[in-house]
Structure 1
């Protein structure tokens, strides 16, 4: 399943979260995790996906190549 990394970055940018620290605060995750997500080193866990949906309004389906 393809992970749409660019879509995640666009959602972060649209919300004004331009640093790993800002993303980490909003998602309540470790800044190192935010860095790994930002740089495409890892995919979000299911718990982080739920936080992304609440914080940025982007669904897991949208991030994994589903509906827009």
Structure 2
């Protein structure tokens, strides 16, 4: 699992599990979502796009199947 934190104005953090291909995102509101079958390259783009990663790749992430965790 890749654990580097995302520093953003919209996200508290994000963690990418390489083995499961799951991107877990915690938003400033406290909501947590898991996005399924996310390509590692998309997480790399998210990580590189700080301080506004959700603006840069959020629409592409939201195109994946997801579930609300909290």
TM-score tier (shorter):
0.3 to 0.5
More strand by share: 2
